[in-house]
Amino acid sequence: MIVKNIVEPLVWETLGKVLNSKPEACRCEKCQADMAAYALNKLPPKYVVSRKGEIIARAVSLDNKYNIAVLVAVTEAVEIVSRKPRHDD
Ligand SMILES: [Zn+2]
């Protein structure tokens, strides 16, 4: 059995959508990872228990309020990271 934070795949999916609406934002691997980490630190995790390998991201339905919180956190993450990208380090 594994314990998995289902917010993580949701953040990555939302990040893809937000980046599509912000063509000026950097899409390099480093910036995208920084954006996802920033958003995940802002959001309360939601853990589920699953058998190894089982696809669970869709199994748990998150309420609409939580989906909006994810969108807000990801949008903020894109703005913050775009202002100070760390991809030159
Ligand atoms: Zn970058």
pLDDT at position 26 over 70: yes
Q: If pLDDT is split at 50, 70 and 90, which confidence band does 59 have? A: very low
* Span 45-57, average pLDDT: 74
CA 29, CA 1: separation in Å to the nearest integer? 30
| Distance in Å, CA 65 to ligand 1 centroid | 30
CA 40, CA 24: separation in Å to the nearest integer? 22
- Comparing 75 with 46, which gets the higher pLDDT? 75
pLDDT at position 35 over 50: yes
Residues with CB under 5 A from ligand 1 (ion): 26, 28, 31, 85, 87
How confident is the model at residue 86, as a pLDDT? 92
| Distance in Å, CA 68 to ligand 1 centroid | 25
| Distance in Å, CA 81 to ligand 1 centroid | 8
Going by C-beta distance under 8 Å and a sequence separation of 6 or more, which residues neighbour residue 18?
A: 71, 74, 75, 78
Q: What is the pTM of this model?
A: 0.84
pLDDT at position 57 over 70: no
